[in-house]
Structure 1
Amino acid sequence: MGLTGKLICQTGIKSDGDVFHELFGTRPHHVPNITPANIQGCDLHEGEFGKVGSVVIWNYSIDGNAMIAKEEIVAIDEEDKSVTFKVVEGHLFEEFKSIVFSVHVDTKGEDNLVTWSIDYEKLNESVKDPTSYLDFLLSVTRDIEAHHLPK
């Protein structure tokens, strides 16, 4: 069993994929209003929302535990509809040497596919793969989808 890994999950959404991408690319501070059970805050620490190099602080709950992650936006690709966040501080460093989250949205008419990936390096062999974070990200995705579906 290695110390580095990559986890990927995909889910189809019925809501607008462009809106989903825009939330994480330029308006991540709106996400806590949409999924407050998962994410309680997203504050700009440095830079400007929607700009590479900016740093945001996420307050979130996973497995019933309050957590904090400071993340740098390392890539935003408008054409590919992807955003990549590199964790630079927070609770994740209790188990991981490095961890990067990416979200990509494929939009093809009414068929939209959200792909989350987590690239990570564990501190040691006893650390579990971050599969609970995939469940968390899928829950966030479902909340965003439900929020943007016509009522």
Structure 2
Amino acid sequence: MGLTGKLVAAIEFRAGGDLFHELFRYNPQHISTTTPDKVQGCDLHEGEFGKVGSLICWRYTHDGEKKTAKQLIQAIDEEKKSIEFKMLEGDLMKLYKDFLITLHIDTKDGIDLVTWTLEYETLHDDVEHPISLLAYFIDITKDIESHHLEKA
């Protein structure tokens, strides 16, 4: 029996929360342009970018290793600017029974926060919690912010 867990990080995003949400919802294939050392591509396998029920596959580098992740876009909430990605296949599924990545944008007092939530169940008790993956998502958020602030 594995361990269940939930990790959350909220990062201020000065380039605009709408931009971040729309990038991940409608144009995830462009993320590799803003952070090529971390994300090498996002391919559509079934459905349509930005639609619930679509299947996408990421090619990325994490902890110095090339990896893949096949995900189902499980839910989208435009009001909350949130997207849920359910992991189906790939490197993470060698360690985790279930893995759900949710990103959403909160705006408070004119400040946009990108919030990443990782919910998971490990396959075994000795599997580490995905803290380095959460740090990876924080770094991607910062890279996207820097890229868009430089363009402004």
Aligned-partner SS, 1:144: helix
Conserved? CA contact 1:16–1:148, under 8 Å: no
2:81 aligned partner: 81
TM-score, with length taken from structure 1: 0.95
* Pairwise CA RMSD: 1.2
Pairwise CA distance, 1:110: 4.1
List aligned pairs for 1:18-97, cutoff 5 A: 18-97=18-97
Aligned-partner SS, 1:149: helix
**Deviant stretches of 4+, over 2 Å:** 107-110
* Aligned AA (1:30): H
* Aligned AA (1:31): I
1:126 aligned partner: 126
Pairwise CA distance, 1:131: 0.5
TM-score, with length taken from structure 2: 0.95
Pairwise CA distance, 1:109: 6.4
* Aligned AA (1:6): K
Aligned sequence identity (%):
49
Cα deviations by residue, 1:1-49 (Å, 9 ceiling, x for unpaired): x611100011111111100000111111111111111100100011000
- The separation in 1 between residues aligned to 2:30 and 2:20, in whole angstroms, is 11
- The separation in 1 between residues aligned to 2:59 and 2:137, in whole angstroms, is 14
2:6 aligned partner: 6
- The separation in 2 between residues aligned to 1:93 and 1:139, in whole angstroms, is 22
- The separation in 2 between residues aligned to 1:149 and 1:37, in whole angstroms, is 19
Cα deviations by residue, 1:94-137 (Å, 9 ceiling, x for unpaired): 11001010101113464111100000000001100000111100
Aligned-partner SS, 1:44: strand
